[in-house]
Amino acid sequence: MLNRLPSRHRRAAFVFIGVAWLLLASTRILAEEDWQQQVRTAVDQHQIPAALAVVDHRLADAPDDMEARAWRGRLFGWTGRWHEAETEYYLVLDKFPNDEDVLVGLADVLLWQQKYSEALVVLETARNAAPQNSEILVRRARVLSLLQRTAEARAQFQTVLAHDPTNRAAINGLANLKGVPRYELRIGEEADFFNYTDNAQVETVTLAAHWNDKWTTGIGVSPYHLFGENAVKIWAGAAYRFHQNNWVRVLGAGANPQDVVPEREVLVEYGHGFRFSNPWFKGLESSYQEHSLWYRGAQVVALNATDIFYLPKEWTWTLSVTGARTQFPSGESDWVPSGSTKVGFPLYRKLSGNALFAVGAENFAQVDQIGRLSARTYGGGLRYRFAETQDVTGFVARQAREHGQNQTSLGLSYGIRF
């Protein structure tokens, strides 16, 4: 049809069509850049739901946009929606199997789920695609370390440093391989001062062993000098951390026959950790405990729920609520609630502190804390790390009870890791 027009009109038509095509292409490019900029801005402002809404809108218009799917995978991964993140990443890799950013993102999601072997397979593919990418190589070394393949991890860190001697991640990773402590020995002393009875004290020695990233065991012994009696309690426990930041812990304890501390104890705990991507909460550990204690004159079953919030700048906030049922020989039983809150905070370099407030009985390891007890406790502590593997911890607490009774507690402990 254009051939029927005069030559000058044909030239004008071709120019018009070319300009229109360029404008359309420019508009499309600007639209694509616009949604990506919106996503980056939302992420920079920690507005992950807003970023995800932009990505979803983009995919509604362009379902085959692999860049948008990669962004959806990142956002899902950052918010703990790991299975959905894997799905998005694999969709992208089906079309672009050597995309380094997507491979790294998928490896991170697998690592967060503690799927270390699968993460290593993905990182091997990424390494083959980009043999000199130090970010990929450092991640691979970390996964090898988690798989207890220490020699390979050390060699990988050294390879990175051979090409980039100032790589801080590789320097730190290699240092951690050299000095990861497996055992922790702690020795402590606590003194309790009462206004209605003789003073008391307890010494404690504990040894914990971190066998790998899953298993931890511990043993301890505590001699008590309380209310004119002497007691010795020995305990042992084990904790197992499994898929997706879950853990279980069991503990058993026994003591010689006496009237001041439980003669038998059994504790079972289940916990789960969460990650958050917002400016206020970095993470949360939530746990539930069932603690049974048998005294000569009573039996206590304590049900406890504890949440530890990890806040910015190394602050923590702990909330704990306990319901305890005490069964006496006469057949009488009673439920008593109690609760506590504690804030931990950094002070100066190697020094950190905490402040505590509790209501009700919060220590069922001693006979004076069972039954119906109305009390308020205020306290705080300090921890100083004077070496990478050594620290000193101290605390002071004041408990005001009903009937004008009060108790002041002081404690000090020393810990060394080796």
Q: What span, in angstroms and rounded, lies between the C-alpha atoms of 315 and 342?
A: 11
pLDDT tens for residues 55-92?
999 999 898 999 999 999 999 998 889 899 999 999 99
pLDDT score for 207: 98
Lowest mean per-residue pLDDT among 150-159, 222-231, 278-287, 303-312: 278-287
3-state secondary structure 164-207: CCCCHHHHHHHHHHHCCCCEEEEEEEEEEEECCCCCEEEEEEEE
- The answer, yes or no, to whether residue 248 has pLDDT greater than 50, is yes
pLDDT surpassing 90 at residue 106: yes
Looking at per-residue confidence, does 235 or 45 come out higher?
235
| Alpha carbon distance 268, 287 (integer Å) | 10
Is pTM beyond 0.75? Reply is no
**Which of 276, 290, 281 shows the shortest CA–CA distance to 245?**
276
pLDDT of residue 343: 97
pLDDT for 11: 57
Whether the Cβ atoms of residue 299 and residue 278 lie closer than 8 Å to each other: no
Distance of alpha carbon 377 from alpha carbon 405, whole angstroms: 12
Reduce the DSSP state of residue 209 to 3 states and report it: strand
Q: In a 10 Å sphere around its CB, with 0-12 CB exposed, 13-18 middle and 19+ buried, how is residue 94 labelled?
A: exposed
Rounded Cα gap, residues 187 and 416, in angstroms: 9
Res 2: pLDDT: 46
Say if residue 138 is exposed, middle or buried (CB neighbours under 10 Å; 0-12, 13-18, 19+). buried
In angstroms, rounded to a whole number, what is the distance separating the alpha carbons of residues 105 and 101? Answer: 6
Look over the chain and give the mean of its residue pLDDT values, rounded to a whole number: 87
The answer to whether the beta carbons of residues 215 and 239 sit under 8 Å apart is: yes
Using CA atoms, how far apart are residues 385 and 350, in angstroms rounded to an integer? 5
Q: Per-residue pLDDT for 356 more than 90?
A: yes
The answer to whether 374 touches 402, Cβ cutoff 8 Å, is yes
What is residue 379's predicted lDDT score, i.e. its pLDDT?
Answer: 96
- Whether 319 has a pLDDT exceeding 90, the answer reads yes
3-class secondary-structure state, position 129: helix
User: Residue 31's pLDDT band (boundaries 50, 70, 90)?
Assistant: very low
Q: How far is CA 356 from the centre of its chain?
A: 21
Find the Cα–Cα–Cα–Cα dihedral 161, 165, 169, 170, rounded to 10°: 20
- Percentage of the chain exceeding pLDDT 70: 89
- Chain mean position to CA 40: 26
- Which of 407, 354, 2, 375 shows the shortest CA–CA distance to 194? 407
Question: Could you report the per-residue pLDDT of 331-354, keeping only the tens digit for each?
Answer: 677 788 899 999 999 998 889 999
Average confidence (pLDDT) over 30-36? 67
CB 265 within 8 A of CB 293: yes
CATH 3.30.420.130 fits 183-417, yes or no: no
Give residue 330's pLDDT band: very low, low, confident or very high (50, 70, 90): confident
CB 373 within 8 A of CB 379: no
State the average pLDDT over residues 273-284: 77
**What is the tens place of the pLDDT at every residue in 7-17?**
555 555 555 55
Task: Give yes or no for a contact between 66 and 58, defined as CB atoms under 8 angstroms apart.
Answer: no
Share above pLDDT 90 across residues of the chain, in percent, rounded to a whole number: 60
Rounded to an integer, what distance in angstroms lies between the CA atom of residue 191 and that of residue 156? 50
The structure tokens listed for 268 are 């079972």
pLDDT bin (cut points 50, 70, 90) of residue 24 is: very low
pLDDT, one tens digit per residue, over 136-171 is 999 999 999 888 888 899 999 999 998 888 898 999
Output the six-digit token pair for 167: 């790589």
The C-alpha atoms of residue 121 and residue 12 are separated, in whole angstroms, by 58
